[in-house]
Amino acid sequence: MSANDLAQNQPIRLSICIATYRRADFIGRTLDSILPQLGRDVELLVVDGCSPDGTPEVMAKYVTSHPHLRYVREDVNSGIDGDYDKAVSYARGEYCWLMTDDDLLVEGAVQRVLSHLHDVDLVVVNARVLNADLSEELTPQLMKLDRDRSYGPATAEALFTDAAAYLSFIGGVVIRRSIWQTRNRELYYGSLFIHFGVIFQSPSVSRAYIIASPLILIRYGNAMWTARGFEIWMFKWCELVWSMTHFSAAARQLVTAPEPWREARQLLRYRATGAYSFAVYQTLLARRGSTWDRLSAYLVAKLPGPAANALFLAYLRTQRRPDLMLRHDLLRSPHASWLTRLPFRTRHD
């Protein structure tokens, strides 16, 4: 019997499911961080949404030498929601870890997760945030918790308030496969956050455990949807969070405002980073909200981007503990100039 035959017959406790698209330059290093951690009861499944780059060639090099790695190339791209849903359907594990295709696992991450797969339906894995080439730390712990936490039916709202904001990131989700399969998933196709809908739709998944120490390294600024950031975070994300009406308004407000685009500071931030422009205003805001909302949005859209960028960078320089993720976005904005970058040149040149 071949190694592949043995792998097929081995009961699987955990399937690490990656949906990938056009990540030939990154997925190899992701696999390198995961494959040494696989045991007999863990499989790694990669679903390729018909990538037009060299992803099949990269994957072919790994599949031949790793019996616990499966690669499925789709004929069409179903979008991130559809491809992750397919990945779970193809998986053979009792639990599925919805890992991303460009981030890394730290050493020992898989074993740590396996140790908590008892009497829970969901494990949330914390992450550390670095820049895209992993040379600079931006956030040592994305979910700010000082210890691991357990949740049950009586603390479902506490799970929501503790983890919902973090769970805009799919890579931290480890979910019981049978739970995923019984949920209304198609409702969240096109949302970009199918995992969030699966977890928090009514009745929400409540038997959960959060691992507070970061086991994932995120490449910040490498997301495929960066160009659509304003639409996603000002509309898609908040609409999804506020659709969870079985949670209190106070709990949802802790995750995101229902209409953050009404806040001038939010508009200024996105103008400064280059994600909000007059074209975006015309498409998304010109016919939305009150007269004051439209006027405010118009004025911010007309504000020179370099001025907004310089203003925000100057503000961050006054902060004792500046938001390094925001600073990263500002310094890489098309509105940043050599002059505004100058104080940071030793780290960002």
Nearest to 200 by CA among 163, 233, 249: 163
DSSP string, 87-123: HHHH--SSEEEEE-SS-EEPTTHHHHHHTT-SS-SEE
Count the domains in the chain.
2
Length of the chain: 349
Nearest to 271 by CA among 308, 312, 238: 308
**Which domain does 97 fall in, by range?**
3-220
pLDDT exceeds cutoff 70 at 4: no
The pLDDT of residue 28 is 97
215 & 298 share domain: no
User: How does pLDDT run across 229-275, given as a tens digit for each residue?
Assistant: 999 999 999 999 999 999 999 999 999 999 999 999 999 999 999 99
Q: pLDDT confidence of 43, banded at 50, 70, 90? A: very high
Please state, in angstroms and rounded to a whole number, the distance separating the CA atoms of residues 222 and 235.
21
Nearest to 33 by CA among 121, 116, 128: 128
Residue 251: inside a domain, yes or no?
A: no
Q: pLDDT confidence of 6, banded at 50, 70, 90? A: very low
pTM: 0.93
User: How does pLDDT run across 167-202, given as a tens digit for each residue?
Assistant: 999 999 999 999 999 999 999 999 999 999 999 999
101 & 169 share domain: yes
Residue 47: inside a domain, yes or no?
A: yes
210 & 303 share domain: no
* Torsion sign over Cα 107, 173, 56, 70: positive
The pLDDT of residue 226 is 62
pLDDT exceeds cutoff 60 at 5: no
Q: pLDDT confidence of 341, banded at 50, 70, 90? A: confident
215 & 73 share domain: yes
Please state, in angstroms and rounded to a whole number, the distance separating the CA atoms of residues 102 and 79.
17
195 & 279 share domain: no
Element of type H or E holding 271: helix 264-273
Q: pLDDT confidence of 9, banded at 50, 70, 90? A: low
Percent of the chain with pLDDT over 90: 88
Task: Look over the chain and give the mean of its residue pLDDT values, rounded to a whole number.
Answer: 93
DSSP string, 127-152: EEEEETTS-SEEES-SS--SS-EEE-
- Residue listed under structure tokens 């995961």: 34
Judged by phi (left if over 0) then psi (alpha if -120 to 50, else beta), residue 147 lies in beta
Higher pLDDT, 224 or 230: 230
